[in-house]
Structure 1
């Protein structure tokens, strides 16, 4: 990699998601009790989590998420098992029934989603955290 390749975001070490939280204590409980995640670092204004080789942070915010789009998602190998386990922990999955898009048991079949992954589609499920952030789970369909 030459010096020109490192200019801008292309040379960034990694990408990390930041999610707003009006109540960090409430958010911490949700991520721990419902998702089984514990922060790897915490500061007065935020919590840092790691999943595999990626990370995301919750930061104290007076604003609220609109929750109208997926703000962060995990890729899993067995979405049915993950949805079942999270449901057992009290996570409520979104149910959608609109033309061309329907969930069954919280899981939707999405044709042709994310072609860059080499998959022909994806199975997806969505839920909201304690702060109203819309989060997703996806399993590529190969």
Structure 2
């Protein structure tokens, strides 16, 4: 049933204009569609779709709500840091840090940051091959 459906991320925003500016200025993303001032739809060249939507419940999750799987986490993190993105550091068993990028055996590289709405987002190297 659901194994043939697409899954998309929905990222909450308390201030849609502030979120639009963060995603444009810091992440280099432009919405492909706006829905009546209540949501922004993004499509990446990699084929992902996500929505940033207006809600008073933004930033309350405290955990990663969306991840970008990138080829080179350290290089992407450096590029985003140069644009003003500030990275978070977390402690977990087996996690080693090199600056803002962590490495965990079996999981690969990752770097976490918060958007303008205090949502936790992540760069990672994707799931390792089986």
TM-score in terms of structure 2 length? 0.88
Per-residue CA deviation, residues 4-63 of structure 1 (Å, 9 max, x unaligned), is xxxx31221x21100110000000000000000000000121001111211000000011
Structure 1 residues without counterparts, runs of 5 or longer:
1-7, 114-121
Per the alignment, residue 39 of structure 2 pairs with 46
1:126 paired with 2:112, answer yes
Per the alignment, residue 11 of structure 1 pairs with 4
Per the alignment, residue 53 of structure 2 pairs with 59
Per the alignment, residue 18 of structure 2 pairs with 26
Per the alignment, residue 122 of structure 2 pairs with 136
Kindly state the Cα deviation for residue 103 of structure 1 after the two structures are TM-superposed.
2.8
- Give the secondary structure class of the aligned counterpart of 1:123: strand
Per the alignment, residue 93 of structure 1 pairs with 87
Structure 2 residues without counterparts, runs of 5 or longer:
none
- Give the secondary structure class of the aligned counterpart of 1:136: strand
Aligned residues: 126
Q: Is the 8 A contact 2:12 2:54 kept in 1?
A: yes
CA distance in 1, matches of 2:24, 2:11: 16
Q: Is the 8 A contact 2:59 2:119 kept in 1?
A: yes
The alignment yields a C-alpha RMSD, in angstroms, of 1.7
TM-score in terms of structure 1 length? 0.81
